[in-house]
Amino acid sequence: MFDPFDENKTPKDKFFEIIFNANKNLVIEELEKVFERLAALEILAEDCYGDELEQKINEVKFNRSEELEQEEFDFYIHTMANILTKNE
């Protein structure tokens, strides 16, 4: 059973628990939005960095790992909230 207040689970753990148990159509809808946004960001990043994009991504992973981790957590939480709100 999903417990959103279980402190032993990370936002990533909770996210996957939700997407495996929520209404499939709602999950698909939300994931389509995620991938659309990701594709748009990929286009913007390529426009800005061109051939240096992979290098810039690796720099962020290495030099800003804590900030990246927080953004990932926030992203999981935001996506979960969108699914749960529609799933009720």
pLDDT value at position 1?
A: 46
Q: Where are the domains of the chain?
A: 10-19+50-88
Average pLDDT, the chain: 91
Structure tokens at 53: 């994009």
Contact 60, 68 (CB under 8 A): yes
Q: By the 8 A CB rule, do 76 and 11 touch? A: yes
Which comes out higher in pLDDT, residue 5 or 17? 17
The pLDDT of residue 7 is 74
Other Cβ atoms closer than 10 A to 62: 9
Identify the band that residue 87 occupies on the pLDDT scale cut at 50, 70 and 90.
Answer: confident
Residue 6 is given by DSSP the state -
Task: Give the pLDDT band (50/70/90) at residue 3.
Answer: low
Q: Which two tokens stand for residue 66?
A: 């804590």
What values do phi and psi take at 5, rounded to 5? -105, 10
